[in-house]
């Protein structure tokens, strides 16, 4: 029997995100997960980093984008006065500089909050001319990576001792903390690299809810419920039984096929922009996720279909 859902994992320092995924996959019973069961993770952590990692299984892997697009929170330690080629403790030092004062750092930090342009690290999985950036960097060449906009909500300086600053950072999906360290170091007239990184929050999920990879099993698997869907920014509704087959065959549904809860009925009555811009997680009357649809021209158009007619 196959199961779909997700694990909240507290990744330790050392292994890659994929290694953690494969270890969890191998540890689960054959009876629980068939050999062809799909696995995936929603946002990687570098091997030197630790913290919250979301691993999806089965058909829940189709929901990866909604987990990926959530904001993140990190506890990080930046070491000033040296910069490595990888911008982390596993690289070789390529630049050294003077140690900035705490006052200088405090004055610089606010300029990195808000919507900023950021260039990902050379040693990253960003695609450049059909290749991964790290592949180009390992070949001894400098990848030409275009800057991209990210959002830094807050940077809190927790402490600054000798040459290491401990910071708490809340930011948008797609933000590279290694690049943030590099850029803050340069703005201080110095250089910096990340020597410790721990992800403590992804969207509505906290590290306190996570389990060590060895503790991930049938009991810790989370189901994509209406509450989870709403916490990820989705509206939720129930498909009336007579319309279920229409949806799983990929057909658009009329509004009358959907039952919303009382809070969302207000949005439905007005058909205002706040409703039209929302995607809707659609559930069966038994509470099973059937898929996700998007409101368009007063219809709900399927974006992801989870179930098949043979299982209903």
The catalytic residue positions are: 46
- Residue 96: CA atoms inside 13 Å, Cβ hemisphere, count? 2
Q: Residue 50: how many CB atoms within 10 A of its CB?
A: 21
Q: Residue 165: how many CB atoms within 10 A of its CB?
A: 25
Alpha carbons 255 and 206: distance in angstroms, whole number: 35
67 within 8 A of 9, measured Cβ to Cβ: no
Rg for the chain, CA atoms, rounded: 22
* φ and ψ at residue 159, rounded to 5 degrees: -160, 160
SS3 content of the chain, % helix, strand, coil (to 5): 30, 35, 35
Separation of CA 184 from chain center:
23
């Amino acid at each position: 029997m196959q199961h779909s859902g997700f694990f909240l994992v507290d990744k330790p320092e050392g292994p890659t995100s994929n290694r953690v995924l494969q270890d969890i996959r191998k540890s689960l019973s054959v009876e629980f997960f068939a050999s062809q069961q799909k696995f995936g993770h929603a946002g990687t952590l570098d091997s030197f980093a630790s913290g919250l990692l979301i691993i999806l299984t089965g058909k829940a892997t189709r929901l990866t984008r909604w987990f990926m697009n959530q904001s993140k929170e990190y506890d990080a330690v930046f070491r000033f006065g040296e910069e490595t080629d990888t911008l982390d403790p596993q690289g070789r030092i390529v630049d050294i500089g003077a140690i900035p004062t705490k006052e200088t750092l405090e004055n610089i930090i606010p300029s990195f909050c808000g919507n900023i342009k950021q260039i990902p690290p050379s040693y990253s999985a960003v695609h450049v001319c059909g290749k991964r950036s790290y592949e180009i960097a390992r070949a001894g060449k400098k990848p030409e990576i275009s800057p991209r906009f990210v959002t830094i909500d807050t940077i809190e300086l927790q402490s600054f001792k000798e040459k290491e600053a401990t910071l708490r950072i809340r930011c948008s999906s797609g933000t590279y903390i290694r690049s943030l360290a590099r850029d803050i170091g340069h703005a201080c007239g110095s250089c910096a690299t990340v020597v410790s990184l721990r992800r403590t929050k992804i969207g509505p999920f906290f590290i306190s809810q996570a389990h060590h990879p060895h503790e991930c099993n049938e009991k810790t698997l989370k189901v994509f419920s209406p509450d989870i869907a709403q916490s990820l920014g989705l509206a939720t509704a129930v498909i009336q039984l007579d319309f279920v087959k229409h949806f799983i065959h990929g057909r658009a549904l009329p509004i009358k096929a959907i039952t919303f809860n009382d809070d969302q009925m207000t949005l439905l009555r007005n058909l205002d922009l706040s409703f039209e811009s929302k995607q809707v997680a659609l559930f069966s009357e038994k509470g099973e996720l059937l898929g996700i649809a998007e409101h368009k021209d007063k219809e709900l158009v399927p974006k992801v279909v989870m179930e098949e007619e043979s299982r209903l």
